[in-house]
Amino acid sequence: MLTAAPEALKPRKAPLQARSEVTVAAILEATIQVLLAAGSSERLTTTRVAERAGVSVGTVYQYFPHKRALLYAVLEQHLQVVTDAVDAACARARGKTFAEISDELTLSYLAAKTSRIEASQALYLVARELDTGDLLGSVHQRMRDALVPLFASASDAEFDDLTGLSFTFRAMLAGTVRAVLERGADRDRLELLQNELPVICRAYLTARAQPKAA
Amino acid sequence: MLTAAPEALKPRKAPLQARSEVTVAAILEATIQVLLAAGSSERLTTTRVAERAGVSVGTVYQYFPHKRALLYAVLEQHLQVVTDAVDAACARARGKTFAEISDELTLSYLAAKTSRIEASQALYLVARELDTGDLLGSVHQRMRDALVPLFASASDAEFDDLTGLSFTFRAMLAGTVRAVLERGADRDRLELLQNELPVICRAYLTARAQPKAA
DNA sequence: ACCTGAACACCGTTCAAGT
DNA sequence: ACCTGAACACCGTTCAAGT
pLDDT given at position A4: 53
- A26-35, A56-65, A117-126, range with the lowest pLDDT: A117-126
Per-residue model confidence as pLDDT tens digits over A40-52: 446 889 999 999 9
For CA atoms B40, B44, B48, B52, the dihedral sign is: positive
Among partner residues B128, B171, B183, which is closest to A179 by beta-carbon distance?
Answer: B171
CA→C1' distance for B27 and D1 (Å): 18
Residue B129 has pLDDT above 80, yes or no: no
Query: For an interface test with B, which of A71, A166, A168, A192 has the most B Cβ atoms less than 10 Å from its Cβ?
Result: A168
Average pLDDT value for chain B: 88
> Would you call A48 helix, strand, or coil by DSSP?
helix
Q: Is residue B18's pLDDT more than 80?
A: no
Q: In angstroms, how far is CA A101 from the centroid of its own chain?
A: 20
What is d(CA B56, CA B48) in angstroms, rounded to the nearest whole number?
10
- DSSP-derived letter for residue A137 is H
Residue B132 has pLDDT above 80, yes or no: no
Containing H/E element for A116? Answer: none
B46 CB and strand D closer than 7 A: no
Q: Highest mean pLDDT: which of A8-12, A40-44, A86-90, B136-140?
A: A86-90
pLDDT of residue B6: 66
* B207: chain A residues, CB-CB within 8 Å: 199-200, 202-203, 206
Q: Which of B167, B203, B206 sits opposite A192 (nearest CB)?
A: B167
Euclidean distance between CA atoms A87 and B194, whole angstroms: 29
A20 Cβ contacts chain C strand, under 7 Å: yes
CA distance A53 to A41: 19
Chain C bases closer than 7 angstroms to a protein Cβ = 1-7, 11-16
User: Does the CB of A39 have a partner CB in chain B at under 8 Å?
Assistant: no
B18 CB and strand D closer than 7 A: no
| Predicted local distance difference test score (pLDDT) of residue A214 | 61
Instruction: Report residue A16: phi and psi, to 5°.
Output: -100, -35
- Give the helix/strand (H/E) hosting A210: strand A210-211
Could you tell me if B73 and B43 are in contact, meaning their C-beta atoms sit under 8 angstroms apart?
no
Tell me how far CA of residue B118 lies from CA of A92, A188, B12, in angstroms.
41, 36, 28
Average confidence (pLDDT) over A9-31 = 83
Q: Mean per-residue pLDDT for B22-44?
A: 82
In angstroms, the CA B164 to CA B147 distance is: 11
Taking only the tens place, the pLDDT of each residue in A81-100 is 899 999 999 999 999 999 99
Closest residue on chain A to B164 (Cα): A192
Q: Does A204 touch chain B (CB under 8 A)?
A: yes
Phi and psi, residue B165, nearest 5°:
-60, -45
Estimate in Å the CA A56 to C1' C1 gap, whole number: 16
- Chain-chain contact of A199 with B176 (C-beta, under 8 angstroms): no
Comparing CA positions, the residue from B182, B183, B164 lying closest to residue B174 is: B182
Give the sign of the dihedral formed by CA A172, CA A176, CA A179, CA A182: negative
Confidence of residue A158 (pLDDT cuts 50, 70, 90): very high
What pLDDT was estimated at residue B40? 46
| Across A13-27, A154-168, A173-187, least confident range | A13-27
CB-count burial class (<10 Å; 0-12, 13-18, 19+) for A157: middle
pTM of the model: 0.84
d(CA B208, CA A188): 19
Residue A89: CB partners within 8 Å, gap ≥ 6?
A: A104, A105, A108, A109
Q: Which of B129, B176, B203 sits opposite A176 (nearest CB)?
A: B176
Task: Give the pLDDT score at B17.
Answer: 72
A190: contact with B, CB 8 A cutoff? no
> Can you give the pLDDT at residue B205?
98
For residue B1, what pLDDT is reported?
45
**Residue B3 vs residue B124, higher pLDDT:** B124
B44-76 burial, b for 16+ CB within 10 Å, e for fewer? Answer: bebebbbebbebeeebbbbbbeebbbbbbbbbb
Distance from CA of A18 to the nearest CA of B (A): 38
Calculate mean pLDDT across residues A113-140: 80
Q: Is the CB of A11 under 7 A from strand D?
A: no
| pLDDT classification of B38: cutoffs 50, 70, 90 | low
Lowest-pLDDT range, A3-7, A107-111, B32-36, B166-170? A3-7
In this structure, are residues A165 and A159 in contact, taking their beta carbons and an 8 Å threshold? yes
- pLDDT of B173 above 70: yes
- Judged by average pLDDT, the poorest of A93-107, A190-204, B16-30 is B16-30
Average confidence score pLDDT of chain A: 88
Q: Give the CA B59 to C1' C12 distance in Å.
A: 14
pLDDT at A118: 77
- The CA–C1' separation of B61 and D7, in angstroms, is 16
Reported as a single tens digit per residue, the pLDDT across B145-158 is: 999 999 999 999 99
Say if CB A102 and CB A201 are below 8 A apart. Answer: yes
Query: Is any atom of nucleic acid chain D found less than 7 Å from the CB of residue A65?
Result: yes
The secondary structure of chain B in percent helix, strand, coil, rounded to multiples of 5, reads 75, 0, 25
**Residue numbers in B near A189 (CB within 8 A):** 167
pLDDT mean over B101-122: 90
Residue A125: pLDDT band by 50, 70, 90 thresholds? confident
Rounded-to-integer distance, Cα A121 and Cα B175, Å:
16
